[in-house]
Each structure stands twice: as C-alpha cells, then as structure tokens.
Structure 1
Amino acid sequence: MGNKRNSIRDFSRIWKVKRFFAVLVFLGVTYSFASHGFYVAERQHQRLLRRSIAIQEVQSHQRSLGVNETFLNAADYAMKGLVSGNRNGSVFCSHKSASGDSSLLRLSDFFRNETEWKKEGAFNIFLIETSCNSKPKYRSWCSAESMAQQNPKAIVWYIFTSPEVDLSDGLVEQLLQKYKNLRLATVHLDDVFEGTPLEELYRTSAWHSNGTLWPAANLSNMMRIAMVWQAGGFYSDSDVICISPVTELKNVIGLASFNLVNGANFHFDRHHPMVKKFMLYLNEHFNPFVWGKNGPQTVSAVLRSVCNENILYQGLVCDNTKILSHTAFNPIQPHQRSMLFLATAVQDLRKRFQGSYAIHFWNRETRIYPVVKESGTIYDLASKNFCPFSRELATKKSRIY
C-alpha cells in the first residue's frame, strides 16, 4: 500500500514538472509569435505611414499648383514620382520657390559650373534624381555619401531635376561639411539634351505620356548617357554603395549577368563614340512601356553590334570600351537579392567582395526590405562603413530603416 502511495506521489510530481515545462514552452511559443506579429505589424504600419505621407505631399503639391485631376489621382502620381511634362517634353517640378524658406536650398545649375567639371584632370561622378524629389530617401543619400567618401579626388555631382533640395533634417549640411568633393546641382533638361541624338526624343512626350508607369525611370535612362556625353565621367545609380575607389576606371561598363550589360554603373570620356551610339540606338528603339528596354537591353544590344559578338563577356574590348565582370558592380545578382538583408559572418566587405567597386542593392525589388541597425546584414555593414552620416540620421528615431 505504501509503495502504491509513493508511486502516485511520484507520478503527481512528474506530472506537475511536465505541466510546468509545457506551460513554459507554450508561453515561449506565444511570445515568439506575438513578437513576430508586432514586428510585422510595425513594418506594415511604417509602410502605410510612408505611403500616406507621400500621398499627402502630392496632394499638397497639386493644390499649390491649382491642379485637381490632371495627374489621375494622388496615389498614382506618388507611385510615378513627382515629375510630369508638357507636350514638348519639358519637365516641371511641383515645388514652391525657396525664396524666404530656410528649409529649402536653391541649387546652382550644373552647366554654369563648367570651369569645375571641365577642368583638366577632373574626374566626375554622377548620381541623378529624376523624379523632381527635393528630399531623396536615406538610401539614396547613402549612395551619394559612399561615392564621396571612397573617391576623395573625384567631384561627386548629385544632379537634381528639382531646383531645390530639402534641408529640414540637417543631413545635407552634414554631408556638404564633411565631404568637400560633394556637389549638389540642378539642370535644365534643355541643356542636357541640346545637340545630342536624344534631343528629338526628349522634345516628344514619349517618355512620360500615353500611360507609361515609370516616367522618372525613362528620363533617367535618357539623362544618364546624355550627361556623361556632355561632361564625361562615371555614372552610378542611387541604389549602389561604393566600397572601393572608382577613379582608376576609364571607358568601362560592367556585366549584370550572362550576356547582359548593366547601365547602372559605367565610365566614359566626354564625347566618347560608344556613348553616341547608345543615344542613337535609344532614340530609334525607345520603348516607354517595357522595364529595362531603355537601359540594360539598349547598351547590351549596342555592344553586341559594335563588338560583333553574340555573347558579351568579361574582358571584351572594342571601340575603346572594356566590359568588366559582373562582380565589379553587381557582386550579388538580382535573384540573390535577399542575401543583402541577411546577417553575414564576414564583417570585412572588401574581403568578401574582392575585386568589387560597389554593391548594387536592386532598389526596385528590395525597397520594401527593412534594414535593422546593428543586425550584421550586408546592407547594414555597408552603410555603417561607407555612409555613416546617412545611416546615423536614418536610424535616429527607429532602428529600422
């Protein structure tokens, strides 16, 4: 009888212990799901908040212009970018004058600074904001900062179609004070395209009308090659972080993947014949409705024709133009883009991406990916090392940026 009672007592103790651990496991799982739920909810809230702010900004711009339904609706306008045009192709930006507004800086005109960009031995680097946005995202500023940091002997031109840049968060002043080689400038597009093979295309409404979904991207594909033609230099998209100096590069363009060259990064001398061929081809084959048609597909088609090669490959040289490996500017391919936002064990990105000048972050596909400060992801490590001021301000109010 005593043994039976002891067994019952032991069984009761074991059951209590099991129940205790079961409760702990249940609470742990519940906490994990709840934490994940809160994280997802926060991301969704921030996304909706950003979209709401963008739409409110567009509505405010439209009201200031006395515009009601000209640009379809505010949501469509926000997605397309704060840029539009009239029937002869000219661009206007919906921003008030900076006169008397201390939060806006009136930009000087790039073509009025020709003594600087034409100076003998000058190495120009160009980033271009084509959506008439006076306040680019922090990731775009990160790109500009990394170029200025890694190329102190170059002049880094961040070119805006907006006549002004927003000073309200203090980042612009910090960057201009820290990097004496960084320049912010605006342009009149008439000056950009005047006398080029793209002038006719620019004067039409093809790049922004007839329901195209990405007028700012169409303009960017035209403008980058016209700017390099006019001034000469290195062009970079603003979803690229520079990790090594590019000033050693001359008349080069990099592969994006097999048999496809990417127009996101390239260098050409002023009035280089290959750039003229890019413009001639684009003027003839421009398609505002197919993403990539006016960018990678254009430069790839021209290079195949000029080089008389069906397959483009690393090291190919023709017409004083050299094709670099995809690792030069795109060490992580578009289909691998999620790797950019995962933790990495290799802290030294230059060792991990030996032979690379920059890392392309494919913003069109990755802009919804959150970056968490000190998470050890490739993007966070790159921004920490190569654009510290932009990263610091981006994470001032939230660790997620």
Structure 2
Amino acid sequence: VNPVKEIYWTHISADGFRLAMIWKHGGIYMDTDIISMRPIQEVDFLAAEGSRDCSNGIFGFQRHYQYLWECMEDFVKNYNGAIWGQQGPRLLTRILARRCELPIFKHVEDTTCGNISILHPQRFYPIPYSAWRRYFEVWDPLGTFNNSYALHLWNFMNKDMKKVTAESNTVAENLFIKYCPLTYEFIVKATPRK
C-alpha cells in the first residue's frame, strides 16, 4: 500500500476501520451523511443499495460476527486500492454472494441470507445516488419515506456544494427540521442566506 499514490486511500482506511470496529464491539455503523428517522429492528443486517449491491454506508452486527471476519480477511487478500469500493460495498457484496444468491427485490420486503437480514433499498436509499439532487428540491411529503429507517444524503456526490438552507422548503431542510432539530437550529438557521 502506498497512500501517496492511492487516490482512494482515505476511503479505504475508513472502510477497514468500520469493519474492525463493528467486528470488535458490535453495533451499527452509519456514514455521517445519514439521517436516522426511526429505530432499526434488525440486529445483524446489511443494507441493499440496489438489487445486486450491498452498501457499506450502513450495517449492523453483533460483536465477533463471522461474516465481518470473512470481510476483513478478504479486505487483505483481495486488496486493490485502484478500484473504488473494492474494500467497501463490493467487499460486502462479494462475501455475501459466497453465502447466498443475491436477492432481487420486487416489493418493499426485506430478505435474509442465513442469519443476516438484507434490508430493502427503500430502508436507507429511497433516493438513489444518481438522483441525490432531489434532496435539494421542494418537499412533497406524500408517503415519501414511509418505508425508511434512515436516509443517505450522498454528500460525496455533492460536488456543487449544495447546502441545506432555512426556509427553502426542500426535502433536506424538512428532514433536518424533523429529525435533526439541533443541527437545524445551530447550523442551518444560524447560517446567513446569500
């Protein structure tokens, strides 16, 4: 590993750290750009980002869970810092595929692979990464996120540096008001609008 030459080194380090921490201590890992809306009922789970992809932006397991150990072994064995997600979502998907056939979701129902719950993309990714700008559009609350535990805001995609602004009535602003009221009061409302 040469961190100077590897453009994804920071992400890869974070990928390894989250696996090791959850393996050692157990619990739920969530990226910092995820807004939690309600408790997650499952204990050992992966979040499907699409029909054939697991996310490493959110997952939860009991401590010393064998699946995570297999992920950490593969992290080292099949290390390739030149491929985005090789040690992240592709890793979790690859190890799951060794255990079971990856699910094809037809309805908003979760599935399982042994003792691992695979949560439907609607649970965390009702707005896919390709449509991340929808969080900054005007809010239409009708049944929008009824099947979700949390929402991933896709900050990595936000190259145009869109911000949550007060009184914009965007999806993001309404989410902050309801689920992150302290953040909304101290950061969003305190930031002068341009």
- Equivalenced residue count is 188
Q: What's the C-alpha RMSD, in Å, of the aligned pairs?
A: 1.7
Q: Quick check: which has more Rg, 1 or 2?
A: 1
Q: Answer 1 or 2: which has greater helix percent.
A: 1
Q: How does 1:62-211 map to 2 (within 5 A)?
A: 206=1, 209-211=3-5
**Counterpart of 2:76 in 1: which secondary structure?**
helix
Contact 1:260 1:312 in 2 (8 A): no
Contact 1:313 1:323 in 2 (8 A): no
Find the partner of 2:127 among 311, 324, 332.
Answer: 332
For residues 319 and 312 of structure 1, the distance between their equivalents in structure 2, rounded to whole angstroms, comes to: 13
**Aligned residue number for residue 36 of structure 1:** none
For residues 335 and 222 of structure 1, the distance between their equivalents in structure 2, rounded to whole angstroms, comes to: 25
**Counterpart of 1:392 in 2: which secondary structure?**
helix
Structure 2, unaligned stretches of length 5 or more?
Answer: none
**Aligned residue number for residue 392 of structure 1:** 185
Cα gap change, 1:337 to 1:215, in 2 (>3 Å):
same
Give the CA deviation at 1:268. Answer: 0.5
Higher relative contact order (CA 8 A, sep 6+): 2
Q: How does 1:376-387 map to 2 (within 5 A)?
A: 376-387=169-180
Contact 1:253 1:261 in 2 (8 A): yes
**Aligned residue number for residue 213 of structure 1:** 7
CA shift digits 1:259-302 (9 cap, x unpaired): 01111111111111111111111111122222222111110011
Q: Does 1:254 align with 2:47?
A: yes
Find the partner of 1:225 among 8, 12, 19.
Answer: 19
Structure 1, unaligned stretches of length 5 or more?
Answer: 1-205
Q: How does 1:310-325 map to 2 (within 5 A)?
A: 311-314=102-105, 315-325=110-120
Normalising by structure 1, we get a TM-score of 0.45
Q: How does 1:4-83 map to 2 (within 5 A)?
A: none
**Aligned residue number for residue 272 of structure 1:** 65
For residues 140 and 51 of structure 2, the distance between their equivalents in structure 1, rounded to whole angstroms, comes to: 28
**Counterpart of 1:339 in 2: which secondary structure?**
helix
For residues 378 and 397 of structure 1, the distance between their equivalents in structure 2, rounded to whole angstroms, comes to: 18
Give the CA deviation at 1:210. Answer: 4.3
Normalising by structure 2, we get a TM-score of 0.89
Find the partner of 1:286 among 79, 83, 99.
Answer: 79
Contact 2:140 2:171 in 1 (8 A): no
Contact 2:34 2:151 in 1 (8 A): yes
CA shift digits 1:136-167 (9 cap, x unpaired): xxxxxxxxxxxxxxxxxxxxxxxxxxxxxxxx
For residues 210 and 277 of structure 1, the distance between their equivalents in structure 2, rounded to whole angstroms, comes to: 28
For residues 230 and 241 of structure 1, the distance between their equivalents in structure 2, rounded to whole angstroms, comes to: 25
Contact 1:239 1:363 in 2 (8 A): yes
